[in-house]
Amino acid sequence: MSEYSIGVDLGGTNLRAAAVSREGKMLNKVSGATPAGTGREALIADIVRSIETIQGSLARGPEGHELQGIGVGIPGIILMEKGILVGAPNLPELVDYPVRDEIEKRLGKRVTLENDANVAALGEKWMGAGRDVEDLILLTLGTGVGGGIVLGGRVHHGYLGMAAELGHLTVVPNGNPCGCGSLGCLEQYASASAVAGMARMLSLGRDLSAEDVFELAQGGNTRARQIFETVGTSLGIAIGNLINVFNAPLYLLGGGVAAAWDQFAPALLAEVSRRSYIYRAQPPRIERAALGSDAGLYGAASLGFQRR
Amino acid sequence: MSEYSIGVDLGGTNLRAAAVSREGKMLNKVSGATPAGTGREALIADIVRSIETIQGSLARGPEGHELQGIGVGIPGIILMEKGILVGAPNLPELVDYPVRDEIEKRLGKRVTLENDANVAALGEKWMGAGRDVEDLILLTLGTGVGGGIVLGGRVHHGYLGMAAELGHLTVVPNGNPCGCGSLGCLEQYASASAVAGMARMLSLGRDLSAEDVFELAQGGNTRARQIFETVGTSLGIAIGNLINVFNAPLYLLGGGVAAAWDQFAPALLAEVSRRSYIYRAQPPRIERAALGSDAGLYGAASLGFQRR
């Protein structure tokens, strides 16, 4: 009888789920489109269905796997004790609704909800770039910039579950206005939207994606390179601060924009070195996350093995 | 038989020690000048003597107190496992010397070394403003700006013991050069030296102390008030970032400049509110530390009760 857990990664566009063994082996994976905008019932039903699909496939196997628990990663702010979302810009239908209890009721299994960046950080700690450390900080560079902080092998939640809003670290005190109400947040300089926005500002092109800008930079385009230099410098200020705060051994960059590592890393490392004498005294690792979009699945699954 | 611990606060100018009961009652306190610059032997001998004086006074009492352990707060970076200082600008004679083992050998008692801002944070957690919380962040605004981070009731050290260098958070990316090699560190805007420096810059006076500038501000002097507005704004950027990172329930300001609270707090709170939507969602406490210069004594003593 081998034990496994199911991790669900509920994104604004994709709903994915995977079974992972206690040893960290991914046994099965399903994915589909998130039925966002069709109401809360359709969403919950789809989550439950994806879990049941996986359960079914493993039950049919010859090995007799035993489900230990279920973890669900969601892009939003979660009241951990209650299993309720209090903020989720991409999934507003789930806010203030007992998401955890509802899934538990339908499946008869223990469920843990966790913020998407936090599960990605946990996944990297368990089976990715952070296997050898107890503390790590992850920045996810996607449409926005998210953060996950793992200390002593566990997520640091803060007293209200709102910790690690690393996309809203100030990097340019009087810089671009941010949706959060502040000015010059990291998210305004290092997200995919920021890269696209800077491309418009620099008349590089009207509808370029962050990926397009990366291609241009790789081809030698000066303005595109300048954009990634800004990405790197901004990340360097933020990570320099995080090093001075945490003195952690590992800082990871995930999300789509992290693929442009070669373009922004030189400026990032130069800035961190200037900002943090702790970095100069003994440089911690600063790296791309290792598991890509599977990090969230591993991390969510790891929660299924934890006692609440 | 009542149990007690001895806390030592070794500053650049003062050497103080106190006996504290397990219940947090200060039983005895001695203080004198730190014999800095007279060599390591004089320093160690003085630390040992101050501890023996306290031990002697309690042994002579009728109650038969029993010493549990000794904690020593030192302004420097400490390798916790080895009990050795690797950096201490104000006490260079103690760097790379087995301070802990040497004191232990002479007293035959268990000794724990800890950074001075960390012991102050621990003291506030134990018997000061942080009695009711598990997580708190302390900023000490003295000649420089130090920091102490308490998570789950214990100091967050980081993997090399260099965490919480909060005076070197960037608050003005291209601001005043800092001794650490960076630009625009918090310490350049919110320390006593920074206040005195700004007074010179604004031709307020050549040799004014931070206290003098505070008196002028209290009397209505516009430039002096402007200086404390800068202090508050800089602290607001830094504390806004710390709130977005930690979501802790309590942020404390200690050290001499914290006495100017009434002058800088309005700008600080306005800036934090602008920088952190987490603050606006549910404001944590931001306050002056409660124990003044005794915080370090309480915190150092608390280490004497901890198992290593």
CA angle A73-A81-A106, nearest 5°? 60
Are B98 and B84 in contact, with CB atoms under 8 Å apart? yes
Interface of A with B in 231-250 (CB under 8 A): 237, 240-242, 244-249
- Which has the minimum average pLDDT: A33-47, A50-64, A206-220, A283-297? A50-64
Q: Report residue A133 as tokens.
A: 């450390």
CATH code of the region B132-289: 3.30.420.40
Region A132-149 average pLDDT:
97
The CA dihedral of B22, B23, B29, B31, to the nearest 10 degrees, is 70
Count of CB atoms situated within 10 Å of the CB of A172: 18
Other C-beta atoms lying within 10 Å of the C-beta of residue A64: 9
Q: Which positions in chain B touch A271 (Cβ < 8 Å)?
A: none
The label of the residue with tokens 């004086």 reads B53
Helix (H, G, I), strand (E, B) or coil at B64: coil
The pLDDT of residue A34: 85
Mutate to test the interface with A, among B182, B244, B250, B274 (most CBs of A within 10 A): B244
Q: Are A21 and A4 in contact (CB under 8 A)?
A: yes
Distance CA B173, CA A234 (A): 10
As a whole number, mean pLDDT of residues B221-227 equals 98
Judged against a pLDDT cut of 70, whether residue B214 lies above it is answered with: yes
Residue type, B253: L
Position B119 pLDDT exceeds 70: yes
B60 touches chain A (CB under 8 A): no
E strands, chain B, are: 3-10, 14-21, 26-33, 66-74, 77-79, 84-87, 111-115, 136-141, 145-151, 154-155, 250-254, 285-288
Hey, which residues 95-154 in chain A have their CB within 8 Å of chain B? 133-135, 147, 149, 151
Closest CA to A2 of A19, A25, A28, A22: A22
> Across all residues in chain B, what is the average pLDDT?
94
- pLDDT band for A236, please (50, 70, 90 cuts): very high
pLDDT value of position B137: 98
Cβ of A164 and B245 within 8 Å?
Answer: yes
Average pLDDT over residues B96-116: 95
Q: Are A115 and A73 in contact (CB under 8 A)?
A: yes
Question: A171: helix, coil or strand?
Answer: coil
Q: What is the pLDDT at residue A81? A: 86
Is the pLDDT at B308 greater than 80, yes or no? no
Nearest by Cα to B186 from B118, B257, B122, B277: B257
Instruction: Look up the ipTM and state it.
Output: 0.95
pLDDT exceeds 70 at position B105: yes
Interchain pair A244, B171: CB under 8 A: no
Contacts of A276 by beta carbon, 8 Å cutoff, 6+ apart:
A240, A241, A243, A244, B168, B182
Residue B62 burial class via C-beta count within 10 angstroms: exposed 0-12, middle 13-18, buried 19 and up? exposed
Q: Where in chain A is the domain with CATH 3.30.420.40?
A: 3-122+294-305, 132-289
- What per-residue confidence (pLDDT) applies to B17? 97
Residue range B262-300, pLDDT digits in tens: 999 999 999 999 999 999 999 999 999 999 999 999 999
Give A241's Cβ-side CA count (13 Å radius): 29
Once rounded to an integer, what is the mean pLDDT over residues A78-90? Answer: 87
Q: Give yes or no for residue A36 having a pLDDT over 80.
A: no
Check whether A60 has a pLDDT greater than 60. no
How many Å apart are CA A57 and CA A27, to the nearest integer? 10
- pLDDT given for residue B278 in this prediction: 94
Q: Give dist(CA A252, CA A258) in Å, integer.
A: 9
- Just give the CATH number of A3-122+294-305: 3.30.420.40
> Residues of B with CB below 8 A from A176's CB?
none
Q: Tens digits of per-residue pLDDT, B42-99?
A: 999 999 999 999 999 887 555 677 899 999 999 988 988 899 998 888 888 999 999 9
pLDDT at A61 over 60: no
pTM of the model: 0.95
CB atoms within 10 A of CB A203: 8
The pLDDT value given to residue A63: 64
Q: Chains A and B: how many Cβ contacts under 8 Å? A: 125
A53 neighbors A103 (Cβ within 8 angstroms) = no
Structure confidence at residue A12 as a pLDDT band (50, 70, 90) = confident
DSSP state, A170? Answer: B
Backbone torsions φ then ψ of B167, nearest 5 degrees: -70, -15
Give yes or no for residue A123 having a pLDDT over 90: yes
Q: Which of A86, A149, A244, A274 to mutate to test the interface with B (most CBs of B within 10 A)?
A: A244
| B151 closest CB neighbour out of A151, A244, A284 | A151
Nearest CA among A235, A233, A254 for reference residue A243: A235
Instruction: Mention every residue, 6+ apart, whose C-beta is less than 8 A from residue A275.
Output: A236, A237, A240, A241, A243, A244, B168, B170, B182
Residues B206-219, mean pLDDT to the nearest whole number: 96
Q: What is the pLDDT of residues A182-208, one digit of tens each?
A: 999 999 999 999 999 999 999 998 899
Longest dimension (CA), chain B: 62
Q: Percent of chain A beyond pLDDT 90?
A: 85
The tokens for B152 are 């789950």
Where do the H-state alpha helices sit in A32-186? Answer: 40-59, 99-107, 116-127
> What Cα–Cα distance (Å) separates residue A275 from each residue in A234, B76, B179?
11, 20, 11
The pair of structure tokens assigned to B76 is: 């420097």
What is the phi/psi pair of residue B3, to 5°? -90, 140
pLDDT(A101) > 70: yes
B31: confidence class by pLDDT, cuts 50, 70, 90? very high
- Comparing CA positions, the residue from B63, B214, B242 lying closest to residue B138 is B242
Which range has the worst mean pLDDT, A68-72, A79-83, B149-153, B199-203?
A: A79-83
Residue A280 has pLDDT above 80, yes or no: yes
CA atoms within 13 A on the CB side of A66: 5
CB B191 within 8 A of CB B150: no
- The closest alpha carbon to B307, from B132, B82, B154, belongs to B154
Indicate whether A37 pLDDT > 90: no
Mean pLDDT of B155-180: 96
Residue of B nearest to A241 (CA): B169
Q: Please tell me if residue A277 touches chain B, with a CB cutoff of 8 Å.
A: yes
Query: Cα(B30)–Cα(B42) distance, rounded to whole angstroms?
Result: 17
Contacts of B33 (CB under 8 A, 6+ apart): B13, B14, B15
Mean pLDDT of A241-259: 97
Average pLDDT over all residues of chain A: 94
Judge whether B8 and B44 are in contact, CB under 8 Å.
Answer: no
Count of Cβ atoms closer than 10 Å to residue A104 Cβ: 16
pLDDT interval class at A308 (50, 70, 90):
low
Q: Tokens at residue A76, please?
A: 């939003």
B183: pLDDT strictly greater than 70:
yes
Cβ-contact B178, B188 below 8 angstroms? yes
Confidence of residue B205 (pLDDT cuts 50, 70, 90): confident
If one counts every other C-beta atom within 10 angstroms of the C-beta of residue B205, the result is: 15
Tokens of A208: 């370029």
Report how far residue A115's alpha carbon sits from residue A76's, in angstroms, rounded to the nearest whole number: 6
- Under a CB-based contact definition with an 8 Å cutoff, are residues A84 and A78 in contact? yes
pLDDT tens digits for range B1-26: 689 999 999 988 899 999 999 999 99
Residue of B nearest to A186 (CA): B241
Q: Do A245 and B151 touch (CB under 8 A)?
A: no
